[in-house]
Chains A and B, each alone.
Chain A
Amino acid sequence: MSTEHSDIPGTVIFDGVQARKGYALNKMCYSFNDAANRQAFVDNEDAYCERFGLNAQQREAVRNRNVLQLIAAGGNAYYLAKFAGIFGLDMQDIGAQQTGLSKDQFKARLLAQR
């Protein structure tokens, strides 16, 4: 699903195809630089997503807080990191979710690459 546009396993290159597909989603995530916008999302998620014109796939991925789905819907890692920040997730949480590991298992995998 998320490996299109690339023959590198488990990797999506954020290119013009993804940039077009994900524009609304990434624009919403970009808005989360502003604390007031983060709060507006928390206060009324539906209304906030509506404002940015997310499509059904993007809305579902946001609802599920699912990073692989967000990437498949055109999300870019740098903007998605701002979305993750709303929920206090760090990069090991994000990595664990995408790889199907527990956070401790994911951290152990990082350490094993020393």
Chain B
Amino acid sequence: MARIIGGITTSHVPSIGGAIAKGLQQDPYWQPFFDGFIPVRQWLAETRPDTVVVVYNDHGLNFFLDKMPTFAIGAAPSYRNADEGWGLPQLPAFAGHTELSWHLIEQLAAEDFDLTTCQEMLVDHAFTLPMALLWPDQRWPVKVVPVCINTVQAPLPTAARCLKLGQAIGRAVASWASDEKVLVLGTGGLSHQLDGERAGFINKAFDTEFMDSLAANPAWATQFDTHQLIERAGTQGVELLMWLTTRAALGDKVAELHRNYHIPISNTASGLMLFEPRP
């Protein structure tokens, strides 16, 4: 059977794309962020995953408010990026893994998750930039399955629901008749708020407690409803739901292999974590 070999969680700020395009990785502003990925890339070179399930939130590239799915899953043979309004260079297309997509769709539906399935899907910076941080040459050595969670329009799925989604993804991968090694990549957060008079809000104490909780007690965040998460992490910091989903897919026991946390990247407290499942 297939197995999940690890989980990576990272921020996905759009300006990372600008920094990559301009080659600013060693610029003093950016270096503490980009250097955080060096141990993760070493781990990827050693473990060599075949496929990545990318848990992210769309920011108005593929989905508009006319149709806003809570949970959407890609089932396309390939996924491409497109202009998100800023004219940034676009990244190479990603090869989809339709077999795993449909296995996940079947298994998650059987566990009572009502998914929107997408045989065509544009993927935005929340998907493409973390991939480019993991594989800077942008020659993707993996196939992908996008899982998109609504954080645009409330009501959002609760933290408890996202935890369950992640657990179900973990079970689904484990039941997939394949010898592939699967990585789960969750993108977003950590604390930040772009809008309102509270713009620029960052909460280091909360981020630290959240990151500390993930290894041993991932259910910690489920004590908060969406309003409480926004209060503590900011209107966009609620993207930590992707981290929670990713962590839950790894099973009960994990080892935290790496962590980086840096304030600020743009208006965001940027975070990075790497976990491996343990028996």
Looking across the interface, which residue of chain B has its beta carbon closest to that of A27? B64
Q: Is the CB of B83 within 8 A of A19?
A: no
Given A10-B198, A71-B196, check contact A85 B267 (CB 8 Å).
no
Residues 20-61 of chain A, each 1 if its beta carbon lies under 8 Å from chain B, else 0: 000100110110111100100000000000000000000000
At the interface, yes or no: B193 with Cβ under 8 Å from chain A?
Answer: yes
Looking across the interface, which residue of chain A has its beta carbon closest to that of B262? A114
User: Would you list which residues of chain B between 188 and 233 have a CB under 8 Å from chain A?
Assistant: 193-200, 202, 204, 227, 230-231
Looking across the interface, which residue of chain B has its beta carbon closest to that of A77? B195
At the interface, yes or no: B103 with Cβ under 8 Å from chain A?
Answer: no
Q: Is the CB of A30 within 8 A of B15?
A: no
Q: How many residues of B contact A (CB 8 A)?
A: 38
Q: Is the CB of A82 within 8 A of B84?
A: yes
Q: Is the CB of B194 within 8 A of A95?
A: yes
List, in ascending order, chain B residues with CB within 8 A of A9's CB: 197-198
Interface centre among B194, B227, B231 (most CB of A within 10 A): B194
Q: Is the CB of A71 within 8 A of B199?
A: no
Q: Is the CB of A98 within 8 A of B204?
A: no
* Chain B residues within 8 Å of A, Cβ to Cβ: 14-15, 59-61, 64-66, 82-87, 152-155, 193-200, 202, 204, 227, 230-231, 235-236, 263-264, 266-267, 269
